Amino acid sequence: MKRKQFEEYLRSGTANNITVGVLATIGLIFGAKSFTGTQISLVEYCFIPSTLTNPVNRQRYCTPNKRYIMPEAEFYASSYAPANPEFQRDNFLPTKATRLRIIPPSNPDKALWGLASVFFLGRAFTLSKAREWRLLQLIPSVREEIRSNWLISKLWSGLRLHKEAYSAQLDYEFHQWSENRRVREAQLSQMTPQELAIFQEQVRLRAEAEARVQLQQVTGQPVGALPGQSMQDIARGDDKVTGSEQQTLGQNTAISLDPSESLALNTLQALARADSSTALVAAPGSGKSVTLNYLIQKILADSPNADIWVISAKNDSFCGLREKERVIVFDGENPDLAKEVIDRFYLNYKKRKQLPESKRESLPPLILILDDWLVIADQLSKHYSDWNYGSKLLDVLLIGREFNTKFIASLQSFNLAALGIEKMDAQTRLCLNLLLLGNRYIKNGREQESYGVLELILNRGDIIPGKQEREQIKSKYLDIKAVSYQNLRPVMIASVGGFVVALMPILSNKVNSIASEQEYLDRVFDLEFNLNAAHNVHPKPLSEVAKKIYEYFQNVKSKTPKTLRDLKKADRLSGYSESELIDGVAELVKTEKINSDGNDSYSLPDW
């Protein structure tokens, strides 16, 4: 309604403009008329000497420059009587003026013209402002009406499309129903009477089962109840699993809560075997210490001669490294020992950089573990302001992988600047593996959460650049977080080339776990039933990757020991990942197909 009024008002704009223009023109004409001519009578006078009596001479004397004009009323008033401007005492010129003629008024209605001009101009201004005010009054309501009409049109269009889709779906379902009915009729027509009776019985039983389920839902009877069974029978405790059986079931169910646990385990193994450095970021209670111990165990299991040093704020064992005097407990008042360890680690790294390329491949891992590094780094920066440990860590981060040297920094918050690396840009961060943990745990009877670190990087574009990838990771994280929250199991987000989101497994006894279920069954059989001391063990067939690696050793031209780096460069092994190559080599060493000197150097027995 308002829109129609607005449109009518717009259509009447031309007529309104013409009216305003006409009124303004008339007002201007009347105004101009009011400023022309005289409204009162005027007297033309002259100061004629009294000595001139001849009219002709008097007329000649009053030349145009001696003639004056003034209002008639003022001419006869004594107070306004004109004075002779050329009067001088003892002169013959008179002081009193002589009237020559009266000039009638040329525009006696001057005031009326002015009033008419003011009226017409005021009328034009009033009409213009009234139209403008009316338009301003109508615009908000018209805008709201247009918005409402637009929404209604969108809804109508959506309803129309939905109606068309629904009609098409009904047509399709009707067509399917017709086809199914035709096929069913054809099937029933070919059945024997016995088959038809069996089919009818199946239909009847299915209908009874559906009706029973609906009845249970309506009456509130438990779905698992048997016919005639009451709630007391269900709650009876003599058929419950108790004692050790319940504990066994709990252990079995705790083995795997999510399929991603195997992915998490493979990721941890890849981090332990990776050449690049790692930042382990987790708040207290997230399983940081357990994860760090697992990484150390895996490193020692793969490389028993690994040179590992630990700087920590607590005196933990770190998988026996403390007993080997490889753990330095940081003392804030006397941090010299921690500084010496970092300098010694960097010195050993610099010695490796001097080695030729042929000797680098057989180097054992050189690893520096910085536990609770935020606290330690802060104290070191205060005590040694001129000592730049960050440049050493940056050197190891960027180039250390070429010399089997890396560090593992354990942080409690996502503050990578605490590593002391000033130029930690996006490109440098790609060289650093990230392992972040979050969990829900119970401490002192209180529930606490530590998912903040994970949820921080999910919203940072500099960590996960792609928006689509970030949304996929976030969706996967929310699914696994629900399992973690319910079962008090940590969630992992790791960056090892690409991002991995998984539920952390139970890491106890994972390093020396049995490789497969078949091997486990064979071992149980040997322990329980094979009493022959010299029992025959059927060799397990080699895996595909182990066969490819063995073929590489047989066909290689140079009969010199090979390293894992050589296997990576081989064309026939380019399709396998580093972890698969490591497992294949371990399988060949176990079956004595190849020999190993323990320093990542492998060869055939006949070389």
> Tell me: the pLDDT tens digits for 194-253?
667 666 766 676 677 677 767 766 666 554 444 444 545 444 444 444 444 444 334 434
β-partners of residue 312 are 329
DSSP state, 423?
A: T
Q: Which tokens go with 287?
A: 């399983």
Please report the pLDDT score of residue 238 as a whole number: 47
Among residues 145, 107, 121, the alpha carbon closest in space to that of 22 is found at 121
Inter-residue contact 304 to 363 (CB < 8 Å): no
Percent of the chain topping pLDDT 70: 80
Query: How far is 308 from 297, CA to CA, in rounded Å?
Result: 11
Please report the pLDDT score of residue 426 as a whole number: 66
Query: Pairing state of beta strands 98-103 and 433-438?
Result: unpaired
Query: Hey, CA dihedral for 518, 520, 522, 524, is it positive or negative?
Result: negative
Helix (H, G, I), strand (E, B) or coil at 217: helix
Query: How far is 439 from 487, CA to CA, in rounded Å?
Result: 10
Helix (H, G, I), strand (E, B) or coil at 517: helix
Give 583's contacts (C-beta < 8 A, 6+ positions apart): 543, 545
Helix (H, G, I), strand (E, B) or coil at 254: coil
Q: Which tokens go with 213?
A: 């389920």
Please report the pLDDT score of residue 467 as a whole number: 78
pTM: 0.46
Give 568's contacts (C-beta < 8 A, 6+ positions apart): 578, 581
β-partners of residue 356 are none
Query: How confident is the model over 74-117, as pLDDT tens digits?
Result: 888 877 767 666 655 555 566 678 888 899 998 889 889 999 99
Q: Of 239-243, 286-290, 572-576, 580-584, which gets the smallest average pLDDT? A: 239-243
Percent of the chain topping pLDDT 90: 18
The full DSSP string for 564-595 is: HHHHHH-GGGTTS-HHHHHHHHHHHHHTTSSE
**Helix residue ranges per DSSP H, 442-563:** 452-457, 467-487, 517-528, 544-555
DSSP state, 36?
A: S
What is the mean pLDDT of the segment spanning 567-578?
79
Residue type, 177: W
Average pLDDT, the chain: 79
What angle, rounded to 10 degrees, do the helices at 13-34 and 2-11 form? 50
What is the mean pLDDT of the segment spanning 117-144?
87
Query: How far is 529 from 370, CA to CA, in rounded Å?
Result: 49
**The pLDDT of residue 548 is above 50:** yes
Residue type, 331: D
Query: How far is 396 from 384, CA to CA, in rounded Å?
Result: 20
Query: How confident is the model over 60-75, as pLDDT tens digits?
Result: 888 888 888 989 888 8
Question: ∠ CA 334-337-339 to the nearest 5 degrees?
Answer: 100
Phi-psi region of 595 (alpha: psi -120 to 50; beta: other; left: phi over 0): beta
What is the mean pLDDT of the segment spanning 333-345?
89
Buried b (16+ CB within 10 A) or exposed e, 566-594: bbeebeebeebeeebbbbbbebbeeeebb
165 CB burial (10 A radius; 0-12, 13-18, 19+):
exposed
**The pLDDT of residue 414 is above 80:** no
Query: How confident is the model over 298-329, as pLDDT tens digits?
Result: 999 988 899 999 999 888 889 989 998 899 99
Query: How confident is the model over 437-494, as pLDDT tens digits?
Result: 999 888 777 888 888 888 888 887 777 777 778 888 888 888 898 888 888 889 999 9
Q: Which tokens go with 117?
A: 């001009």
Please report the pLDDT score of residue 598 as a whole number: 67
Stated as kind and residue range, the H or E segment containing 101 is: strand 98-103
Confidence of residue 255 (pLDDT cuts 50, 70, 90): low
Q: How far is CA 592 from CA 114, 362, 370, 403, in A?
A: 124, 20, 38, 28
Query: How far is 409 from 426, CA to CA, in rounded Å?
Result: 18
Inter-residue contact 282 to 437 (CB < 8 Å): yes
Inter-residue contact 318 to 310 (CB < 8 Å): yes
Query: How far is 587 from 576, CA to CA, in rounded Å?
Result: 15
Query: How far is 125 from 146, CA to CA, in rounded Å?
Result: 31
Inter-residue contact 298 to 268 (CB < 8 Å): yes
Please report the pLDDT score of residue 370 as a whole number: 92
Helix (H, G, I), strand (E, B) or coil at 519: helix
Residue type, 333: E
**The pLDDT of residue 261 is above 50:** yes
Among residues 121, 114, 135, the alpha carbon closest in space to that of 36 is found at 114
Query: How far is 119 from 29, CA to CA, in rounded Å?
Result: 12
Q: Of 401-415, 459-473, 516-530, which gets the smallest average pLDDT? A: 516-530
**The pLDDT of residue 546 is above 90:** no
Query: How confident is the model over 158-203, as pLDDT tens digits?
Result: 999 999 999 999 998 898 888 888 887 887 777 777 667 666 766 6
Q: Which tokens go with 364?
A: 């054992």
Give 370's contacts (C-beta < 8 A, 6+ positions apart): 311, 376, 377, 407, 408, 409, 410
Give 346's contacts (C-beta < 8 A, 6+ positions apart): 392, 395, 396
